[in-house]
Amino acid sequence: MRDRLTISPDGYRRVTFVALLALGFIVVTGGAVRVTGSGLGCPDWPTCAEGRIVAPLEYHALVEFVNRTVTGAVSVMVIVAVLAALRRRPYRRDLVWLAVGLVLGVIGQIVLGGLVVLFHLYPPLVMGHFVLSMVLVANAVVLHHRAGQPDTAPSSRANELRPLGSWLVGWAAVVLFLGTVVTGSGPHAGSNEGQFVERLPFVVRDVARLHGVAVWVLLALALYTVWRAYRDRAPADVLRRGGVLLAVLCTQGAIGYIQYFSNVPAPLVAVHIAGATALWVSVLRFRLGLVSPTETATATKPAVPTGAAVPYRA
Protein backbone atom coordinates (compact mmCIF):
# COMPACT_ATOMS: atom_id res chain seq x y z
CA MET A 1 0.00 0.00 0.00
CA ARG A 2 2.84 2.38 0.84
CA ASP A 3 4.43 1.66 -2.55
CA ARG A 4 1.22 2.74 -4.26
CA LEU A 5 1.42 6.11 -2.55
CA THR A 6 4.90 6.85 -3.88
CA ILE A 7 5.59 8.98 -6.93
CA SER A 8 8.33 8.57 -9.52
CA PRO A 9 10.79 11.33 -10.47
CA ASP A 10 9.04 11.77 -13.84
CA GLY A 11 5.67 11.94 -12.15
CA TYR A 12 6.89 14.55 -9.71
CA ARG A 13 8.34 16.67 -12.51
CA ARG A 14 4.90 16.75 -14.09
CA VAL A 15 3.45 17.92 -10.79
CA THR A 16 5.99 20.76 -10.62
CA PHE A 17 5.18 21.76 -14.21
CA VAL A 18 1.48 22.08 -13.37
CA ALA A 19 2.38 24.15 -10.30
CA LEU A 20 4.50 26.46 -12.46
CA LEU A 21 1.68 26.89 -14.96
CA ALA A 22 -0.77 27.63 -12.14
CA LEU A 23 1.47 30.30 -10.64
CA GLY A 24 1.96 31.90 -14.05
CA PHE A 25 -1.78 31.81 -14.70
CA ILE A 26 -2.59 33.63 -11.48
CA VAL A 27 -0.32 36.50 -12.57
CA VAL A 28 -2.42 36.77 -15.72
CA THR A 29 -5.72 36.73 -13.81
CA GLY A 30 -4.35 39.34 -11.41
CA GLY A 31 -3.48 41.51 -14.41
CA ALA A 32 -7.01 41.04 -15.72
CA VAL A 33 -8.36 42.34 -12.42
CA ARG A 34 -6.30 45.50 -12.78
CA VAL A 35 -6.93 46.30 -16.44
CA THR A 36 -10.68 45.75 -16.05
CA GLY A 37 -10.81 48.11 -13.08
CA SER A 38 -11.99 45.34 -10.78
CA GLY A 39 -9.40 45.72 -8.01
CA LEU A 40 -12.05 46.90 -5.57
CA GLY A 41 -14.86 44.79 -7.00
CA CYS A 42 -14.75 42.93 -3.69
CA PRO A 43 -14.06 45.78 -1.24
CA ASP A 44 -13.71 43.52 1.82
CA TRP A 45 -11.31 40.75 2.76
CA PRO A 46 -11.45 37.81 3.28
CA THR A 47 -15.13 38.14 2.38
CA CYS A 48 -16.19 39.85 -0.83
CA ALA A 49 -18.66 42.46 0.40
CA GLU A 50 -20.99 42.97 3.34
CA GLY A 51 -19.98 39.68 4.92
CA ARG A 52 -20.72 37.67 1.78
CA ILE A 53 -18.16 35.10 0.68
CA VAL A 54 -19.55 34.78 -2.86
CA ALA A 55 -19.54 37.87 -5.06
CA PRO A 56 -22.84 39.42 -6.17
CA LEU A 57 -23.82 39.20 -9.83
CA GLU A 58 -21.90 42.32 -10.79
CA TYR A 59 -19.12 42.47 -13.36
CA HIS A 60 -16.23 43.92 -11.30
CA ALA A 61 -17.11 41.85 -8.24
CA LEU A 62 -17.19 38.65 -10.28
CA VAL A 63 -13.82 39.37 -11.93
CA GLU A 64 -12.16 39.91 -8.55
CA PHE A 65 -13.95 36.89 -7.06
CA VAL A 66 -12.74 34.64 -9.90
CA ASN A 67 -9.18 35.76 -9.19
CA ARG A 68 -9.61 34.87 -5.53
CA THR A 69 -11.03 31.49 -6.53
CA VAL A 70 -8.02 30.86 -8.77
CA THR A 71 -5.78 31.72 -5.81
CA GLY A 72 -7.55 29.03 -3.81
CA ALA A 73 -6.98 26.49 -6.58
CA VAL A 74 -3.29 27.44 -6.77
CA SER A 75 -3.04 26.99 -3.00
CA VAL A 76 -4.27 23.42 -3.38
CA MET A 77 -1.78 22.81 -6.21
CA VAL A 78 1.26 23.93 -4.22
CA ILE A 79 0.16 21.82 -1.25
CA VAL A 80 -0.02 18.86 -3.64
CA ALA A 81 3.54 19.71 -4.73
CA VAL A 82 4.72 19.43 -1.12
CA LEU A 83 2.88 16.16 -0.47
CA ALA A 84 4.18 14.69 -3.72
CA ALA A 85 7.74 15.74 -2.82
CA LEU A 86 7.39 13.87 0.46
CA ARG A 87 6.22 10.74 -1.38
CA ARG A 88 8.73 10.99 -4.25
CA ARG A 89 11.19 8.12 -4.43
CA PRO A 90 14.11 8.54 -4.15
CA TYR A 91 13.42 11.17 -1.52
CA ARG A 92 15.05 14.55 -2.18
CA ARG A 93 15.25 17.09 0.65
CA ASP A 94 15.97 20.00 -1.71
CA LEU A 95 12.72 19.39 -3.60
CA VAL A 96 10.71 19.30 -0.39
CA TRP A 97 12.09 22.64 0.78
CA LEU A 98 11.52 24.28 -2.59
CA ALA A 99 7.93 23.02 -2.58
CA VAL A 100 7.43 24.34 0.95
CA GLY A 101 8.69 27.69 -0.34
CA LEU A 102 5.78 27.73 -2.79
CA VAL A 103 3.28 27.20 0.02
CA LEU A 104 4.79 29.97 2.14
CA GLY A 105 4.85 32.28 -0.87
CA VAL A 106 1.20 31.68 -1.69
CA ILE A 107 0.27 32.36 1.94
CA GLY A 108 2.22 35.60 1.71
CA GLN A 109 0.38 36.47 -1.51
CA ILE A 110 -2.99 35.88 0.11
CA VAL A 111 -2.13 38.16 3.03
CA LEU A 112 -0.61 40.81 0.78
CA GLY A 113 -3.61 40.62 -1.54
CA GLY A 114 -5.86 41.31 1.42
CA LEU A 115 -3.77 44.35 2.35
CA VAL A 116 -3.99 45.61 -1.22
CA VAL A 117 -7.78 45.58 -0.98
CA LEU A 118 -7.98 46.98 2.56
CA PHE A 119 -5.62 49.85 1.66
CA HIS A 120 -7.50 50.61 -1.57
CA LEU A 121 -4.86 49.54 -4.09
CA TYR A 122 -2.03 51.55 -2.51
CA PRO A 123 0.66 51.45 -5.26
CA PRO A 124 3.62 50.14 -3.17
CA LEU A 125 1.44 47.25 -1.99
CA VAL A 126 0.32 46.48 -5.54
CA MET A 127 3.97 46.58 -6.66
CA GLY A 128 4.91 44.23 -3.84
CA HIS A 129 2.10 41.90 -4.86
CA PHE A 130 3.58 41.58 -8.36
CA VAL A 131 7.17 41.29 -7.13
CA LEU A 132 6.20 38.47 -4.77
CA SER A 133 4.47 36.77 -7.70
CA MET A 134 7.75 36.87 -9.60
CA VAL A 135 9.58 35.42 -6.60
CA LEU A 136 7.04 32.59 -6.52
CA VAL A 137 7.41 31.96 -10.24
CA ALA A 138 11.20 31.86 -9.81
CA ASN A 139 10.79 29.32 -7.00
CA ALA A 140 8.57 27.19 -9.23
CA VAL A 141 11.01 27.39 -12.16
CA VAL A 142 13.91 26.25 -9.95
CA LEU A 143 11.77 23.45 -8.47
CA HIS A 144 10.78 22.20 -11.92
CA HIS A 145 14.38 22.39 -13.09
CA ARG A 146 15.71 20.52 -10.07
CA ALA A 147 12.99 17.89 -10.36
CA GLY A 148 14.25 17.13 -13.87
CA GLN A 149 17.81 16.51 -12.75
CA PRO A 150 19.19 13.09 -11.81
CA ASP A 151 19.29 12.21 -8.14
CA THR A 152 22.99 12.94 -7.80
CA ALA A 153 24.90 16.16 -7.29
CA PRO A 154 25.06 18.08 -10.61
CA SER A 155 28.38 18.86 -12.21
CA SER A 156 28.83 22.28 -13.77
CA ARG A 157 29.15 22.98 -17.44
CA ALA A 158 29.56 26.18 -19.44
CA ASN A 159 31.00 27.68 -16.25
CA GLU A 160 32.45 30.70 -18.04
CA LEU A 161 28.90 31.81 -18.91
CA ARG A 162 27.48 31.51 -15.40
CA PRO A 163 28.44 35.06 -14.28
CA LEU A 164 26.82 36.51 -17.40
CA GLY A 165 23.72 34.41 -16.76
CA SER A 166 23.55 35.70 -13.21
CA TRP A 167 23.85 39.28 -14.46
CA LEU A 168 20.97 38.59 -16.82
CA VAL A 169 18.74 37.40 -13.99
CA GLY A 170 19.68 40.36 -11.78
CA TRP A 171 19.10 42.93 -14.51
CA ALA A 172 15.83 41.28 -15.55
CA ALA A 173 14.68 41.75 -11.93
CA VAL A 174 15.55 45.47 -12.23
CA VAL A 175 13.54 45.70 -15.47
CA LEU A 176 10.53 44.05 -13.83
CA PHE A 177 10.71 46.37 -10.84
CA LEU A 178 10.89 49.46 -13.04
CA GLY A 179 7.87 48.12 -14.88
CA THR A 180 5.93 48.12 -11.62
CA VAL A 181 6.98 51.74 -11.07
CA VAL A 182 5.56 52.66 -14.47
CA THR A 183 2.37 50.80 -13.62
CA GLY A 184 2.09 52.51 -10.24
CA SER A 185 2.49 55.92 -11.86
CA GLY A 186 0.21 55.52 -14.87
CA PRO A 187 -3.36 54.62 -15.71
CA HIS A 188 -5.07 51.29 -15.04
CA ALA A 189 -4.84 51.62 -11.29
CA GLY A 190 -7.24 48.71 -10.93
CA SER A 191 -10.25 50.77 -9.85
CA ASN A 192 -13.42 51.52 -11.76
CA GLU A 193 -15.06 54.90 -12.23
CA GLY A 194 -15.78 56.87 -9.09
CA GLN A 195 -13.14 55.09 -7.00
CA PHE A 196 -10.11 57.21 -6.14
CA VAL A 197 -6.80 55.36 -6.02
CA GLU A 198 -3.53 57.03 -5.10
CA ARG A 199 -0.75 56.93 -7.70
CA LEU A 200 3.03 57.25 -7.42
CA PRO A 201 4.27 60.86 -7.73
CA PHE A 202 6.24 60.29 -10.95
CA VAL A 203 5.72 61.50 -14.50
CA VAL A 204 4.76 58.43 -16.51
CA ARG A 205 6.81 59.52 -19.51
CA ASP A 206 9.99 59.78 -17.43
CA VAL A 207 9.71 56.42 -15.66
CA ALA A 208 8.63 54.76 -18.92
CA ARG A 209 11.82 56.03 -20.59
CA LEU A 210 13.89 54.73 -17.67
CA HIS A 211 12.17 51.37 -17.98
CA GLY A 212 12.81 51.37 -21.73
CA VAL A 213 16.52 52.09 -21.29
CA ALA A 214 16.75 49.20 -18.81
CA VAL A 215 15.10 46.90 -21.37
CA TRP A 216 17.65 47.91 -24.03
CA VAL A 217 20.48 47.15 -21.60
CA LEU A 218 18.92 43.75 -20.90
CA LEU A 219 18.67 43.06 -24.63
CA ALA A 220 22.32 43.99 -25.18
CA LEU A 221 23.39 41.77 -22.30
CA ALA A 222 21.26 38.90 -23.58
CA LEU A 223 22.64 39.23 -27.12
CA TYR A 224 26.21 39.21 -25.85
CA THR A 225 25.64 36.23 -23.57
CA VAL A 226 23.93 34.15 -26.27
CA TRP A 227 26.68 35.10 -28.74
CA ARG A 228 29.28 33.93 -26.23
CA ALA A 229 27.36 30.67 -25.87
CA TYR A 230 27.47 30.12 -29.63
CA ARG A 231 31.12 31.10 -29.82
CA ASP A 232 32.08 28.74 -27.00
CA ARG A 233 29.96 25.94 -28.50
CA ALA A 234 27.72 25.55 -25.50
CA PRO A 235 25.41 22.49 -25.42
CA ALA A 236 22.40 22.52 -27.73
CA ASP A 237 19.85 23.01 -24.95
CA VAL A 238 21.69 26.14 -23.74
CA LEU A 239 21.59 27.59 -27.25
CA ARG A 240 17.92 26.69 -27.58
CA ARG A 241 17.06 28.41 -24.32
CA GLY A 242 19.08 31.43 -25.41
CA GLY A 243 17.09 31.64 -28.64
CA VAL A 244 13.82 31.47 -26.71
CA LEU A 245 15.03 34.23 -24.38
CA LEU A 246 15.88 36.56 -27.27
CA ALA A 247 12.55 35.89 -28.99
CA VAL A 248 10.53 36.59 -25.84
CA LEU A 249 12.59 39.67 -24.99
CA CYS A 250 12.20 41.21 -28.47
CA THR A 251 8.46 40.46 -28.52
CA GLN A 252 7.95 41.91 -25.05
CA GLY A 253 9.91 45.05 -25.95
CA ALA A 254 7.84 45.55 -29.12
CA ILE A 255 4.60 45.18 -27.16
CA GLY A 256 5.85 47.73 -24.63
CA TYR A 257 6.55 50.34 -27.29
CA ILE A 258 3.26 49.69 -29.07
CA GLN A 259 1.24 50.13 -25.89
CA TYR A 260 3.15 53.29 -24.96
CA PHE A 261 2.54 54.98 -28.31
CA SER A 262 -1.11 53.86 -28.46
CA ASN A 263 -2.10 55.43 -25.11
CA VAL A 264 -1.76 52.23 -23.09
CA PRO A 265 -4.87 50.27 -24.11
CA ALA A 266 -6.01 47.79 -21.49
CA PRO A 267 -5.77 44.64 -23.67
CA LEU A 268 -2.12 45.36 -24.49
CA VAL A 269 -1.37 45.98 -20.83
CA ALA A 270 -2.74 42.52 -20.03
CA VAL A 271 -0.58 41.00 -22.78
CA HIS A 272 2.44 42.91 -21.46
CA ILE A 273 1.90 41.49 -17.96
CA ALA A 274 1.79 37.96 -19.38
CA GLY A 275 4.89 38.75 -21.43
CA ALA A 276 6.75 39.94 -18.34
CA THR A 277 6.08 36.59 -16.70
CA ALA A 278 7.23 34.73 -19.83
CA LEU A 279 10.39 36.85 -19.97
CA TRP A 280 11.20 36.14 -16.33
CA VAL A 281 10.74 32.41 -16.85
CA SER A 282 12.90 32.39 -19.99
CA VAL A 283 15.72 34.30 -18.27
CA LEU A 284 15.68 31.92 -15.32
CA ARG A 285 15.60 28.84 -17.53
CA PHE A 286 18.55 30.11 -19.54
CA ARG A 287 20.57 30.72 -16.38
CA LEU A 288 19.65 27.34 -14.92
CA GLY A 289 20.61 25.66 -18.20
CA LEU A 290 24.18 26.82 -17.67
CA VAL A 291 24.49 24.39 -14.74
CA SER A 292 23.35 20.89 -15.43
CA PRO A 293 24.45 17.32 -14.66
CA THR A 294 26.50 15.51 -17.30
CA GLU A 295 25.57 12.04 -18.40
CA THR A 296 28.99 10.68 -17.52
CA ALA A 297 28.72 11.94 -13.95
CA THR A 298 25.50 10.06 -13.33
CA ALA A 299 26.54 6.92 -15.18
CA THR A 300 29.35 6.24 -12.74
CA LYS A 301 27.17 6.65 -9.65
CA PRO A 302 25.88 3.53 -7.88
CA ALA A 303 22.17 2.91 -7.87
CA VAL A 304 20.21 4.42 -5.02
CA PRO A 305 17.87 2.07 -3.13
CA THR A 306 14.20 2.92 -3.39
CA GLY A 307 13.08 5.07 -0.47
CA ALA A 308 16.61 6.16 0.47
CA ALA A 309 17.35 9.82 1.00
CA VAL A 310 19.58 11.25 -1.71
CA PRO A 311 22.35 13.71 -0.88
CA TYR A 312 22.04 16.62 -3.27
CA ARG A 313 24.07 19.78 -3.55
CA ALA A 314 22.82 22.90 -5.30
Taking CA atoms, 134 is separated from 109, 110, 216, 309, in Å, by: 11, 15, 21, 31
190: Cβ–Cβ under 8 A, 6 or more apart, which residues? 33, 34, 37, 38, 39, 40, 121, 126, 197
47 or 94, higher pLDDT: 94
205: Cβ–Cβ under 8 A, 6 or more apart, which residues? none
Taking CA atoms, 273 is separated from 2, 67, 268, 313, in Å, by: 43, 15, 9, 34
Predicted confidence at residue 223, as pLDDT, reads 97
| Domain boundaries 153-295, CATH class | mainly alpha
Phi (first) and psi of residue 88, to 5 degrees:
-70, 140
Three-state DSSP state, 125 = helix
Mean pLDDT of 59-75: 90
Torsion 264-267-269-272 (CA) sign: negative
Residue 158 has pLDDT above 80, yes or no: no
Predicted confidence at residue 284, as pLDDT, reads 97
Residue 281 has pLDDT above 80, yes or no: yes
313 or 136, higher pLDDT: 136
Return mean pLDDT, the chain: 87
What's the pTM value of the predicted model, to 2 decimals? 0.88
Pair 287, 242: CB distance under 8 Å = no
pLDDT single digits (tens) 213-261: 999 999 999 999 999 999 988 889 999 999 999 999 999 999 999 998 9
Predicted confidence at residue 157, as pLDDT, reads 52
Q: Which of 38-47, 82-91, 132-141 has the lowest mean pLDDT?
A: 38-47
What does the domain layout of the chain look like in residue ranges?
Answer: 1-151, 153-295
Residue 62 has pLDDT above 50, yes or no: yes
Pair 191, 162: CB distance under 8 Å = no
Mean pLDDT of 179-187: 90
pLDDT band at 208 (very low <50, low <70, confident <90, very high): very high
Predicted confidence at residue 133, as pLDDT, reads 95
